[in-house]
Structure 1
Amino acid sequence: MVDRKALLGSAVRNARKKAGFNTLQEWAAHLDISDRTLGDLERGHGAGPNTLADVENALGWNPGKSRRFLDGEEDLEDMPAPPQRAQAEPDDDARGRAAVKVLLQPTLADLLAEASAAYQVDPAEAEDWLLRVLTIRRKARERDGQDQAVAERARQTAAARSRQRQAQTGQTRS
């Protein structure tokens, strides 16, 4: 029997590299998804629907294509080539604008342009606003990860102290 998760993982890895993302870390930062989650997907362990949707969008695949492939309803042969990542090193402002454009689906980019025209806002200002929102979102995710790490260390410290108290109580009873 064919391992469809492994085939999907291989297809994602190949498409990622064709798109110009040579490392999982670059790819993860681009998608704002953990490199562990993307690594699991590429190693054939599968992924959740939100991760699959983000990957499909970034690679230019039809929405739901991965799930239909995993369910045996479709093949991967007709996947479009991923959009190529720019190789030039732009300044920070240009890099930010490029990231916004890559993250936006063409339909969303069209809506952004229409909204900026309707509200008489410069499209660059609208992109700046969206970039700020995405930066805040990324920082919040990083902070949540740090909070979880602090909480885990506190749990481990509390467990170690509890074991020490139990050991001390056992020694005084002897």
Structure 2
Amino acid sequence: MRVVSGLHRGRQLKSVPGKIARPTTDKVKEAIFQVLGPYFRQGACLDLFAGSGALGIEALSRGMEKAIFVDKHPKAIHTINENIRMLQLENNVEIFKSDAFNALNGAAKRGLQFDLILLDPPYYKVNYAKLLGKVTELDLLHDDGMIFCEHDATEDMAMTDERYEVLKRKLYGETTGITIYKKKRE
């Protein structure tokens, strides 16, 4: 597993030991960031279900100014900390051991909004409709902000909220799907 592009291009990242996390492949990572924006001009990113932190680190490498990493597993938190230290990104990140819904509520209490939210939970462990509904309810995404979802290929990712448009839906093999939403400007 490596950083695909940007400031830290080619740098190897540590994986979470065991079967806690399922890393996003470099091929999928490259494809999604071509849609999200190959490079960013600052902005804030929330990486929920962060695992090793690879997606949020990729966003930082490509120009995001700040990233918040959230995972509930201690091994994942340890791995994120190792990867952040190795790349000397400590001044650009916050890392929290929490479940996703508590993290979303905490971000709302702090008045945070994001330009990019990365959702890559374990397949079939999260209700995406509920999770996306919470992001919308708490108004955690800036206008023109994007939400990336990696999910099982069979999962229905229909978004009924008219404030969002689907930028991309694609299947990678028989098991992995991605859906990217963009919040319309109000």
TM range (shorter): under 0.3
Structure 1 or 2: more strand by fraction: 2
* TM-score, with structure 1 as normaliser: 0.27
* TM-score, with structure 2 as normaliser: 0.26
Structure 1 or 2: more helix by fraction: 1
State the structure with more CA Rg: 1
